[in-house]
Structure 1
């Protein structure tokens, strides 16, 4: 099970597809092994960048079962966000029965007030079961829902099964600091904080008290290096590694084409066989691929893992 003390690197895994848009089951196994070899502590599947909204329920569970079968006991977090509670409850319960460590829930975009957000999570947890550990996903750029530190505090206080915040607000560094300050003063119980946003602010988030990364940058080895050095107190070393990767990381984090870029790099690295997005989804132009290839060549001068 995931716990409030979880630290490290959880890679957000994409969903591999064949050129015709069907699930690439062979690449699911291949991709999972790739992340373990890269040093990931766990995986998060069926998230926003996993094209979960394009999957049939049976396809979602196929991915869950395959990844867990290759996990060798490592924790797997399953995104279960859905428009209705019936679908969320089904996926959450089936995933946990299959061996998942926790589920992740993002708020629906219709929520506007603080009370609506708090009430939504109370209803969601009542539906899926209060014994299932869950990750609160705070990603306003994707959901349009602004969750203040006080609302996070209320959700954590009201729901003992909340063990982790996936922090993806931007700007959000002060949010991490506020939550840790409340913990230090005894006004908030401790929870794990792993950070997303493509790792765009990872080195700074670690300095503010984050426990690690939960994101999908195509070089999880960099996430491993930055997290480990930060937790060991080597802030300059963490910053140096991060700075080396920043041009490529920035390119991968572009809206609309970001997942296409990430899948292109993962294909070049041998993690997946095809860089297909299930429709609707953008395709990279030749010029964009050339941009990525050039960034990889420049990165390889400083990090040989990019020599692909």
Structure 2
């Protein structure tokens, strides 16, 4: 089940569940993985930026990756292996693939500026992890401050037969998807899976521009699954109606700095993880923010009953 350029659907970006004291919560990893399978996801991506990977040491990262992979069943698992140095990247990539991962994801370090620096880095990263390991190119300039034009992405992909997927989360990025699909139509870019991020905030139109699905961590991955399915089937209005119902909660969850805290809170309310805790340093949300999220959930539930949660937040 190695990753290929034909990959599509929804690959959920998984948060790393922790106990309140910061220990890894393996039981919640199991529940979370089962949940993603039950709601129709095609895969799961672990140890991404919102998986709090930088807060884990090397041994803990291996534990988390292996736990998700062991539980995944038919879900394809992509493991984020980005690291300051290639030695750590190589070690985690090889461990993940030996454990049964479908592929790995590599993000550029923020120090890259020129097009040549960017393309050279990814060529060296592929050499470091080893030929034949399928990998995902993460394009996330809002957080990583590395700007990759469509032409640079084309260079990276054409230099590497093992780069099979783009995790696209530029903003604005709709024109980038159109440009990449245009390259494919004129024969200058080989087949490439494009899954989109940014919390799903633009998924409705990203699908129409040619995306193959989503790779993001919104707390209702079941909605993302439905929007992708409806878009593929040509049910445009239904896809947009469902998406629009969730948009206020999507927007709230997308707040810089506290988005992961909101996402973990909702997943806890859904009974998927035991604690909304982040490993320190990490943001928290207070009683007022929780009440706002509860209000948004109630509004979403008018259209999508999956948001009708009966677990009011605990008083603080």
Deviation at 1:73, TM superposition (A): 3.2
Cα distance in 2, alignment partners of residues 268 and 50 from structure 1 = 19
| Number of equivalenced pairs | 308
Correspondence list, 1:1-308, <5 A:
1-308=2-309
**Structure 1, unaligned stretches of length 5 or more?**
none
Cα distance in 2, alignment partners of residues 105 and 301 from structure 1 = 39
Deviation at 1:74, TM superposition (A): 2.1
Which secondary structure state, in structure 2, belongs to the residue aligned with residue 21 of structure 1? Answer: coil
Which secondary structure state, in structure 2, belongs to the residue aligned with residue 44 of structure 1? Answer: strand
Deviation at 1:282, TM superposition (A): 1.0
Deviation at 1:66, TM superposition (A): 1.1
Deviation at 1:187, TM superposition (A): 1.1
TM-score normalised to structure 1 length: 0.99
**Structure 2, unaligned stretches of length 5 or more?**
310-316
Cα distance in 2, alignment partners of residues 255 and 201 from structure 1 = 16
Moved more, 64-73 or 82-91: 64-73
Which secondary structure state, in structure 2, belongs to the residue aligned with residue 164 of structure 1? Answer: strand
Cα distance in 2, alignment partners of residues 220 and 4 from structure 1 = 22
Other-structure match for 2:314: none
- Deviations 1:41-77 (CA, angstroms, capped at 9, x unpaired): 1100000000000001111111111111111132100
**How big is the alpha-carbon RMSD for the aligned residues of Structure 1 and Structure 2?**
0.6
